[in-house]
Structure 1
Amino acid sequence: MDVSRMPCSYGARLPEWVIEELAAAPATLPTDADRMALAHRLAARNPVEGSGGPFAALVVDTDSGELLAAGVNLVLDSRISAAHAEIVALSLAQTRVGGWDLGAAGSPRRELVVNWRPCAQCYGAVLWSGVRRLVIAGEGPELEQLTGFDEGPMRADWSEQLELRGIAVTSGVLRERAVEVFGEYRRMTVERGLTVYNARGAG
């Protein structure tokens, strides 16, 4: 077998504009609103920059408010369908701490902050990441209705399943701003012809 053309690694890198946004952010984000406001800012800018959809996620030390890592949706930028904001943020946080378990014994409590309920893929990533809390702006049909994305089949008791596994769920943090960002994205898809990369829906 000729393996010379077979890829042996893959990955994604945060765009420079995200790094600049993070450099200008406070060193700590003490409240849920502070954390979500940064996620919304990154999510709103992401499609404008052409990186991917209007999604952003943060991994934060729950008690101190220290930001460990941030991610935006990089599907278009990386050409990797799995490069959702949650996956990017969790992977970068795990890289930073040097381990796959963000909830390992002796480590601080860490949480994932996302500008909407995770999709089917990212729900699984939350389960296995080791975070002890999930903070979301909201849940419901607005995301799919406004953006055209297919979030996949989610079980009705998704939050209860997280709670059973020791992951607390907080919803409704700056929800109205999340819906505004999705509405802005919808306008951009019409005006600029943006690619809605996952819009097939159920067959």
Structure 2
Amino acid sequence: MDLTRLPRSFGATLPDWVLEELTHSPTVLPTHADRMELALRLAARNPLEGSGGPFAALVVDTATGELVSAGVNLVLSSGLSAAHAEITALSLAQTRIGDWDLGATGAPDRELVVNWRPCAQCYGAVLWSGVKRLVIAGEGPEVEHLTGFDEGPMREDWAEQLRRRGVEVVIGVRREQAVSMFAEYGRVAVERGLTVYNARGGA
């Protein structure tokens, strides 16, 4: 085997259009509704730009509302199955502060804002990231029914497990808006032939 051909790095890059969206948004988002509004706007645009699925996430300073990072699902544009919105946002926040622990001693409390409950993969990422709060638009089968994505096996007491580990969970911020966005994505995906990726069964 030629070891020089083995990859030694991997990564994903936030598309320029995300920064364009952020230039039209305040950098301080005072309320959960404000934060979710931005996440939903990014999530709705993401599949139309070819980056990945209709998912976005923000890391926000809980007390001040300052935006620390923003991420969208980059699975299609990066070719990496792990490049979900939560992973992207958490990784960019960790890169920005120069620390893997977003909840280190002396650091401000930070929260992750996502336009639906994290999938099985991102649930673990939230757990290990150090964020002190998870804010989601909703939970339930709507995402899978409306979009065709597989969110993976999640234990029923997932929120309680996070709370036991010091992560506050807020559910139901702009839920109806999120469900409407997923329904619209499902319609557009069929009309335009957008890729709904699933390694176990295709689109």
Same fold by TM-score, threshold 0.5 exceeded? yes
Tell me, yes or no, if structure 1 residue 145 matches structure 2 residue 145: yes
- List gaps (5 residues or longer) in structure 2: none
Determine helix, strand or coil for the equivalent of 2:128. helix
* Distance in structure 2 (CA, Å) of the matches to 1:6 and 1:188: 39
Determine helix, strand or coil for the equivalent of 1:58. strand
Which has the larger displacement, 37-46 or 4-13? 4-13
178 and 199 in structure 1: CA distance in 2 versus 1, 3 angstrom threshold: farther
Determine helix, strand or coil for the equivalent of 2:106. coil
Tell me, yes or no, if structure 1 residue 122 matches structure 2 residue 122: yes
* Distance in structure 2 (CA, Å) of the matches to 1:23 and 1:189: 28
Structure 2 partner of 1:12: 12
| One-letter amino acid matched to 1:72 | V
Tell me, yes or no, if structure 1 residue 103 matches structure 2 residue 97: no
Determine helix, strand or coil for the equivalent of 1:153. coil
Deviation at 1:22, TM superposition (A): 1.1
Structure 2 partner of 1:58: 58
Structure 2 partner of 1:28: 28
C-alpha contact 1:150 1:200 (8 A) present in aligned 2? no
Taking the TM superposition and a 5 Å limit, the aligned residue runs for 1:128-139 are: 128-139=128-139
Determine helix, strand or coil for the equivalent of 2:126. helix
Determine helix, strand or coil for the equivalent of 2:26. coil
* Distance in structure 2 (CA, Å) of the matches to 1:94 and 1:73: 17
| One-letter amino acid matched to 1:19 | L
Aligned residues: 201
After TM superposition, where is structure 1 displaced by more than 4 Å over at least 4 residues in a row? none
Deviations along 1:61-97, whole A, 9 cap, x unmatched? 0000000000000000000000000000000000000
Tell me, yes or no, if structure 1 residue 79 matches structure 2 residue 103: no
C-alpha contact 1:112 1:135 (8 A) present in aligned 2? yes
Structure 2 partner of 1:47: 47
Deviation at 1:199, TM superposition (A): 6.8
Deviation at 1:59, TM superposition (A): 0.1
Tell me, yes or no, if structure 1 residue 192 matches structure 2 residue 192: yes
* Distance in structure 2 (CA, Å) of the matches to 1:159 and 1:199: 27
* Distance in structure 2 (CA, Å) of the matches to 1:99 and 1:145: 37
TM-score scaled to structure 1, two decimals? 0.97
Determine helix, strand or coil for the equivalent of 1:38. helix
C-alpha contact 1:149 1:199 (8 A) present in aligned 2? no
| One-letter amino acid matched to 2:193 | G
TM-score scaled to structure 2, two decimals? 0.97
Deviation at 1:190, TM superposition (A): 0.8
Indicate the RMSD between aligned Cα atoms, in angstroms.
0.9
Determine helix, strand or coil for the equivalent of 2:195. coil
| One-letter amino acid matched to 1:87 | I
* Distance in structure 1 (CA, Å) of the matches to 2:130 and 2:63: 16
* Distance in structure 2 (CA, Å) of the matches to 1:14 and 1:177: 24
